[in-house]
Structure 1
Amino acid sequence: MDNFAQNNYTLNNWMTATPAIDTLSLCELTLPGTHNAGSDWKASWPLIPGAHWLACQHQSFYAQLSHGSRALDIRLMYDADAQGLGKFCIHHNGYRNGRTLGHLVTDVEKFLQENPNEFIILDFHELKGEQFDFAYFNSMMMLFLGRRMIPTKNRSLSLRQLKQISSTQRILVAAPWHRALDQNVFHEQIGHKWSGSGITNAADLEKHIINVLKYPPGTWAPWSLSATSYSALGGPVDIHDELNSWFDPKKSDWALKCNIINVDFIEESNIVSYCRMVNLMKASKRN
């Protein structure tokens, strides 16, 4: 394993720099993900309850992708009075911040232009609001990211096969089902394995993860493990020491059993390098 860890690679293109993993599909890989990806400290937050209760990441979507995140957990709510992509606002527990779908599509496009052979899962976990305009959301996604979206029929193909089919299709987009969403490119909603409790300390989280990984979901569809902690006193908690201990492939098989590991404050832990290491392990078993 030490040989893997010492390979020179940068976080922004870790998949491209690890061609051995191209034999695996997005459902088979272990991917570092960012929980509440649009809820970051750099966004503009309401004074009450304040950013420290709501921010789960340090920086923008683009920065998260550049730090190695490959699955963005997105929560949108609808604002009929806003203009264009501003109608689709990022929120955390109903509290909006300044981020919108416009920031997301711009950041993703910029990242993929710079790193054309990285793959991203856009996990639209919530599309909220009685008036949510699914048809407009569909048309805006197709307009700005349509050429990037991996068709649903290709979900189980390996990265190598996906690259052979297209030089631009690099995003698996998943969302709650709605008849106005094009089922050819909108994959079914990704299941989140979370503790079920809004307040979760590290010990409770560890028990939850142990429980999930006794019988982890299969590799026919993407799934996400919520490896996040929240305190009643301070909001989202930075648990990078615990993450580094739990998911280190030298210490456990946890990372091997996962698909998306959904974490807060992605820059703080070694989760990206652990994912890369276990993906090389998975690929070597395949060959």
Structure 2
Amino acid sequence: MKSVLDKIALAYSLDVNPDDLDDYGNIKEYVPPVFEPFVEDMGGTDLMDIQAALDGGPGPSALESDIGITAGWCPNGSWSGGICKPFNNIRTHWMRAHGVVNNLPIHMAILPGTHNSGFDKQAASTPSSEVCQDVAPYHQLTAGIRVLDLRVQHYWGYPVGDPRRYSIFHSTNNGRTVQGDILDAVRMFRQSSDGDTQREIVILNFHQFRNFTADAHRELAGIIKSYLGESIISPVYRDLTVSQIWTLPNYKNVVISYNSDPRDALFWKGVNQRWIGSNTPSDKELKAFIDRVGNEVKPAGELRAIQAHRMAPVIYIPSDISGSLMSWFAAGSASHPIMKYYIINCDWSLRHRLVDNIIFSNQFRSRALGIPDVVQASPTSIGVQGMPSARHMILQIDDAHWTETVALPPILDEEPHRLLVCSDADAECELDLRGSDVPLPGVRLSKGEVVALVCLDGSRQWALQVRECSPNEHGHVIAAPCDGEKFIRYTLSIGNYAPLVYLPAEAPANSVVLIVCDALYTTRIGHSQGTDELEHVISAGQVLAFTYSTASRQWHKQEVLPGSHN
């Protein structure tokens, strides 16, 4: 039997958590967490009643006398187990039930998050100075939280496949793992409430990494993609609205925000966490910082969080500042304080009604930003007198509304426009791409394929939303479009150059690869490694396009429009 000091020394040499060694120095068997299926008790309330309750607001903001209280703040609700729950609201599937984020891109919505999401009272180890949440990440999701703040430590001492290889940490470890407590929790959450949660969009913000190598990053990315698969929302769709994302195939509902370069092509940039830089500011200092961040201009497309948390001086434990939070992020109209923020991360995030404030306030966000409703349309309605505005549209092609050629709707003014074209028709159609920046007159669109375009700069030209690749980040073999994507763009540039690149060995029917050369030298383009088919050459200032034929299993070069690139 080993002493505590011997066990710690052995764990250090093996690179494992000491808590995972038995008294003889052997690694204990991993015990996965158990998730109980969760169905929200609505007490017989129907959706119309819920909307009426939402229109009534989340309740009054905290009074000055409530600021600084240390036992939560739960008006018009009940509080137990660290969760303040109102009597008449939906939280498990609030995005779908209330529809308040439908017209917003994800990065423009107001979203509730938890600071250090994996450090909660229900974990195996609960160091007092680190624990800042009451319930496990799974229960955070069912209670309405939509952004999890994750810091991950890589332990090479566990075998590949052991969830403990990627453990949650702050300054210490508490037994929670990425696979068991985060990825499995998200999958279980999807099975809650009779499928109502399948549309709820969750951001997993992998914010900090300890003991990572390039191989460890690749391994973790592979684990994340194997667990979440087609539910991951590609950054290609960053500027689409939530309702447009809901129209994408395979219930896409998870954003992986990864705060490290290089990152997988399916992952978004890390959340910009605006933190005061001190652990023990006073309420007054923290409030001044929060006000200052609220007056900053957020860069377009950025995921941004305000870190609204602090620790108590001397005793150095996370403070319950529920009353302060409900005052600083008061809701009620388009002019209330909460409207200046996006992701709001705090400690003890469910002891108050901030989630309800956020749900309620999102209904004002799209109006305050001048974002109109998303219009559902079909190809047969394009050009018809009385056609609704195309500023935000889902253009749905199905068997009942099929035409041989589908045109892009006109851009009516210099305001932002967002368009998703998706086909569910058995027959292919030709998508006319004139009026866009795609260097082709059109492409064949097959069942299950989508094309996303936006115009956000007032240019009155549709801009293709496409996965971007390059030699440095993605190698010399060009990736194939996947998961309903129609296009992929591969760019060669100064400092990001390869003399020889290869088209994918295979791809879905009619997939399109666009190759752009901004480099000083020419690049040879082979059809696939190991073949001696005719090569193509691309020079500086050129763009080439290739379309894949499943019948011939070959890529065919397409004629591009004059002046496509220079």
**Residue 208 of structure 2 aligns with which residue?**
126
1:268 aligns with 2:351: yes
1:106 aligns with 2:184: yes
Name the SS of the counterpart of 1:33 in structure 2. Answer: strand
**Residue 10 of structure 1 aligns with which residue?**
90
Q: 2:142 aligns with which of 49, 61, 66?
A: 66
**Residue 174 of structure 1 aligns with which residue?**
257
Name the SS of the counterpart of 1:5 in structure 2. Answer: coil
Q: Does the 8 A contact of 1:134 with 1:178 survive in 2?
A: no
Paired with 1:130 and 1:105, the residues of 2 have a C-alpha distance of: 19
Paired with 1:166 and 1:247, the residues of 2 have a C-alpha distance of: 36
**Residue 202 of structure 1 aligns with which residue?**
283
Q: How far off is 1:4 after superposition?
A: 4.1
What is the root-mean-square deviation in Å for CA atoms of aligned residues? 2.0
Q: Does the 8 A contact of 2:230 with 2:250 survive in 1?
A: no
Of the two structures, which has the highest relative contact order with CA contacts closer than 8 Å and spacing of 6 or more? 1
Q: Does the 8 A contact of 1:190 with 1:223 survive in 2?
A: yes
Name the SS of the counterpart of 2:107 in structure 1. Answer: coil
Q: 1:220 to 1:15 in 2, by over 3 A?
A: same
Q: Does the 8 A contact of 2:57 with 2:332 survive in 1?
A: no
Q: Does the 8 A contact of 1:216 with 1:258 survive in 2?
A: no
Which runs of 5 or more structure 1 residues have no equivalent in the other structure? none
Q: How far off is 1:71 after superposition?
A: 0.5
Paired with 2:261 and 2:234, the residues of 1 have a C-alpha distance of: 17
* Structure 1, 26-35 or 9-18: larger mean CA deviation: 9-18
Q: Does the 8 A contact of 2:272 with 2:302 survive in 1?
A: no
**Residue 236 of structure 1 aligns with which residue?**
318
**Residue 270 of structure 2 aligns with which residue?**
189
Bigger proportion of residues as helix:
1
Paired with 1:176 and 1:134, the residues of 2 have a C-alpha distance of: 11
Question: Could you tell me which amino acid in structure 2 is paired with residue 274 of structure 1?
Answer: N
1:26 aligns with 2:103: no
Q: Does the 8 A contact of 1:193 with 1:212 survive in 2?
A: yes
**Residue 360 of structure 2 aligns with which residue?**
277
Give runs of ≥4 in structure 1 deviating > 6 Å: none
Rg larger in structure: 2
Q: 1:75 to 1:151 in 2, by over 3 A?
A: same
Aligned pairs, how many? 280
Question: Could you tell me which amino acid in structure 2 is paired with residue 283 of structure 1?
Answer: S
* Structure 1, 24-33 or 244-253: larger mean CA deviation: 244-253
Paired with 1:141 and 1:215, the residues of 2 have a C-alpha distance of: 33
**Residue 163 of structure 2 aligns with which residue?**
85
* Structure 1, 79-88 or 134-143: larger mean CA deviation: 79-88
**Residue 95 of structure 1 aligns with which residue?**
172
What's the TM-score, normalizing by structure 1?
A: 0.91
Paired with 2:236 and 2:54, the residues of 1 have a C-alpha distance of: 37
Q: How far off is 1:219 after superposition?
A: 4.5
1:143 aligns with 2:220: no
Provide the identity percentage: 24
Q: Does the 8 A contact of 1:85 with 1:140 survive in 2?
A: no
Q: Does the 8 A contact of 1:75 with 1:90 survive in 2?
A: yes
Q: How far off is 1:24 after superposition?
A: 0.6
